[in-house]
Chains A and B, each alone.
Chain A
Amino acid sequence: MSQTPHAVEARHLVKGYGVVRAVQDVSFQVPRGEIFGFLGANGAGKTTTLRMLCGLIRPTAGTALIDGFDVFAQPMEAKARLGYLDEEPFIHPHLTGREFLDYIADLYRMPRGPERHRRMERLLGLFELADRDGELVGAYSHGMKQKIGLASLLIREPSVLLLDEPTNGLDPRSARLVKDLLEELATRGTTVLLSTHILEVAQALCRRIAIMDRGHLVATGTMEELRTQAGSAQATLEDLFLSLTAGPESSELIERLLAPQP
């Protein structure tokens, strides 16, 4: 493993599509074992930034490092340490849950044998998929697909997890399980970069939070640091988010919507 103290590092990341700048000069670092929240309105550039960090999209400028390895210059080293879960993970519909886990384990060259089998069983049990593991993934519900997607990351124990809305579609019990699991993984040294719209989850889990707005990183820090930045000692994360991603007040919008039409 590299000696860098940062598990994830974004250095001046820029992504442009023609004249449109989806992400503009985004830089931040996430130390090992930290859960880092990534917030922003729809279209703020969160998913594009995550995809640049995991090597799916090449940045127009800047560098993405995972455990000190440049995602594009040393992709094999970086990818072996990385687990990325998309907002709508793709799971091959014609494989069973177990076959899919086996496929992913092989792709990442996990040794075959009883240890891998035990790990698979534990994960299937943990996500309550053990009795459905023989069914084709195409027949799974959205939440079950999300669970098998998470299991496919955890089976190979990556040191960095990039998760885009991981609790999306999960029932409250499973969502709680995922939150507890992420906390436990972080205490064991796994770094988690969590993109979410659920501010309560971010506030409860993340030590530090970054807020993106229209392609820019507008704030980064702990809750206290964000409150200081916003000049409001009692502000909730929701208050901070709304003040940092300025737009018309919701009360104003509702008033406009419900106003009698001429």
Chain B
Amino acid sequence: MSRSAVGIILRAEWRAWRNRIAKANPLRVVGLVVFALLGGTVFGGFLFALAAAAGHLLPSARDAMLSGAFTALSVLMLVVGFPSVIATYFAGRDLMQLVLAPVRSIEIFLARSLFAMSANLLVAVVFLIFVAGVGAGSGASPLYYLLALALVFVQVLLVTALQATFMAAVLRWVPARIARDVAVAVASIAGGGLYLAWNLTLRQTLGSFAPRHQPDLSSLVSSLQRIEWVPSSWPGHALSAVIEGNAAATLVWTGITLVFAIVVVGAAALLYERTLLAGLGLLGGVPSRWRTRRRKPPRVAAAGAGSPGFAIARKDWIAYRRDIRRLSRFLPAMIFLLAYAVLLIRPGRGIDLFWNDVFVVAFVSLFMSMMFATTAIPAERRGYQLLRLAPVTSWQLIRAKVLFTLVPVLALTGVISLGLSLAGGNSPWKTLQVALLAVWLGVGCVSIGVSAGAIDPNFESADDRRSVGIVGTFAAMGGELAFGLFSVGALALFYLAASLAAGNAVAGLPVAATPAFALASVVIAVALAAAGASVVVLMLWLANSHLRGFENSIVSN
């Protein structure tokens, strides 16, 4: 008896996945598992408790909460699940093999469904915890949990099928790979935005929390009740009916949810078959006019000798702008950065506005250099071979990368520091100090970041997030943190010295306001600044020596 194609494909995918795990760094795997378990327990426990409390305390809002949860789940899956759906159904390199084999497209569709749903399933697990919590708080029967599990899975299937249907239409005009990159960008930005909104809401809620007062959710409930006709809310109504013991309503809502899911999945399978037959799914073989542009007359470069440093910087600038995947990581990171810097770091009680600005500038410099600088050299990928072949020293390469990264880091820290200083009413002298500190920290952190990437690069990685190894990541974090602390410490000691020299003792410090102590503060401050600078020099030296002898990725190519 012949084996089913679905089983064969799934077995091959499972073997590939198992081999990837087996060949991965065991420490990394264990670390990830521990992190997932711990994070899952803490976050899941918190969410479950919150939902249980809501289910228990707000019986009138249960239906609205459940239907709202399913609608939110659907929206979130629609936003974040597209890249997996595109990659699995339409842009996988192995699709060609499957299409050429005597396998029906419906079998390909079914076999790949599990992988297409992977991102959506991850999101769904979070919502399942919430739904289970509401059930626990409402004292629901075991049927509730079984139905919840089934309905969440159906919702995942339905949304995935909806995404596949949508993409089957879109891919007639847009290449699959471009669609995937755009989807990744949209998902990252939306994910970043949602996370931020969640953080800010939580902050606001906890900030205004008054014990023994039930929160007023009437407006939220009424807006959720307005969307109860939306199909995404039907499973919520079914579960709410189970809690209320209304069997007829449970059957109706579950029934229409299932019928709707069958229709959507059927339509997706049909459209998928047509897409594959048209050959559009295979590596995005769509009209070439997508890429062709109006020809511009070639530009003759100005006279003068070519400069390798500027050539590398110019190449990076052009490639960065055109690489949608890198931009998709850049934009959400910028959202986080600005939001954390401007909204979440607020002066504490008794802290001078100037020192608040100093901490913001330090945070921005560290964040930006971790994001841009550490990946600067590993992001060359196999292009590093071209640099090794060219008469360019590793020091020239490091210098070019530092210069290229420094420009955006200094521009952003400059804008933020000036903005904060002006908004906070700092004097021009203090504004100048913050600006100088931004330059000092920018140069140092970027140099450390670029060096750390050069110490432990992974040129084979197609993903920037994995292009620096563990040693490099820790070197960047440790080095930048040390440099930042030394630098801010030095600044604080200069201030202390000025205060002591003026004869003003600092409250809480057992130091007399004498010229001798002022001098000692200056000496220690200079020593700290020198220590910070030596961290930078050491990292640059290590990077240069390491790059000169580096050949790992070249051998494996």
- Chain A 37-76, CB-CB to B under 8 Å as 1, else 0, gives 0000000000000010011111000000000000000011
The reply to whether B306 and A110 contact each other, CB–CB distance below 8 Å, is: yes
CB pair A109–B308 under 8 Å, yes or no, is: yes
B304 within 8 Å of A by Cβ?
yes
Tell which of B296, B300, B302, B392 touches A107, judged by Cβ atoms closer than 8 Å. Answer: B392
The count of residues in chain B whose C-beta lies closer than 8 Å to any C-beta of chain A is 41
Contacts of B387 in A (CB 8 A): 107
Asked whether, in the complex, the Cβ of B391 is within 8 Å of the Cβ of A80, the reply is yes
Q: Are B549 and A55 interface neighbours, CB within 8 A?
A: no
**Given A106-B308, A117-B301 in contact, is the A90-B386 Cβ separation under 8 Å?**
yes
| B28 in contact (CB, < 8 A) | no
The residue in chain A whose Cβ has the minimal distance to the Cβ of B292 is: A135
- From B306, B319, B388, A112 is in contact (CB under 8 Å) with B306
Q: Provide the bound-state CA to CA distance between A79 and B390, in Å.
A: 6
B372-410 CB contact bits vs A (8 Å, 1 = yes)? 000000000111011111111100000000000000000
Judge whether A116 is part of the interface by a CB distance below 8 angstroms: yes
The distance in angstroms between the C-alpha atoms of A106 and B400, with both chains bound, is 13
Interface-facing stretch out of B2-10, B74-82, B309-317, B421-429: B309-317
A92-115 contacts to B (CB < 8 Å): 92, 94-95, 98-99, 102-114
Tally the A-B contacts, defined by beta carbons under 8 Å. 113
Q: What is the minimal beta-carbon distance from B249 to any residue of chain A, in angstroms? A: 55
- A113 pairs with B389, CB closer than 8 A: no
Whether B322 contacts A75 by the Cβ 8 Å rule is no
Q: Looking at the assembled complex, report how far the CB atom of A249 sits from the nearest CB atom of chain B, in whole angstroms.
A: 33
**Known interface pairs A75-B391, A95-B318, A113-B303; A56-B292 also in contact (CB < 8 Å):** no
- B300 adjacent to A94 (CB under 8 Å): no
| Complex Cα spacing A98 to B314, Å | 14
Distance in Å from the Cβ of A144 to the closest Cβ of chain B?
13
A36 within 8 A of B: no
- Check A121–B389 contact: CB distance below 8 A: no
Expressed in whole angstroms, the Cα–Cα distance for A121 and B382 within the complex equals 26
Minimal beta-carbon separation of B545 from chain A (angstroms): 14
Partner among B293, B319, B393 whose Cβ is within 8 Å of the Cβ of A92: B319
Q: Which of B186-243 contact A (CB under 8 A)?
A: none
Residue B25, interface by CB 8 Å: no
Residues of A within 8 A of B60 (CB): none
Main secondary structure of the interface of A (DSSP, over half): mixed
Does A134 touch B at the CB level, under 8 Å?
A: yes
Please determine whether B291 and A107 come into contact, CB atoms closer than 8 angstroms. Answer: no
Q: How far is the CB of A72 from chain B (nearest CB, A)?
A: 10
Q: Is B293 a contact partner of A106 (Cβ separation < 8 A)?
A: no
Q: Which residue of A lies closest to B290 (CB)?
A: A139
A120 to B299, CA, bound (A): 11
Q: Which residue of the partner chain B has the closest CB to A17?
A: B555
Q: Is the Cβ of B554 less than 8 Å from the Cβ of A116?
A: no
Q: Which residue of A lies closest to B554 (CB)?
A: A56
Report the bound CA distance from A51 to B385 in whole Å.
10
Q: Within 8 Å of chain A (Cβ to Cβ): is B97?
A: no
Contact status B323-A109, CB under 8 Å: no
Query: Which residues of B have CB within 8 Å of A136?
Result: 291, 322
The chain A residues found within 8 Å of chain B, CB to CB, are: 17, 51, 54-58, 75-77, 79-80, 82, 84, 86, 88, 90, 92, 94-95, 98-99, 102-114, 116-117, 120-121, 133-136, 139
* Nearest 9 A/B pairs, CB to CB: A106-B311, A106-B306, A90-B382, A94-B319, A112-B301, A107-B390, A94-B322, A113-B303, A79-B391
Interchain residue pairs with CB less than 8 A apart (27): A51-B555, A54-B389, A57-B551, A57-B555, A75-B391, A79-B389, A79-B390, A82-B389, A86-B557, A90-B382, A90-B383, A94-B318, A95-B319, A99-B318, A103-B314, A104-B390, A106-B306, A108-B390, A109-B306, A109-B308, A111-B305, A112-B305, A113-B300, A117-B300, A117-B301, A133-B298, A136-B291
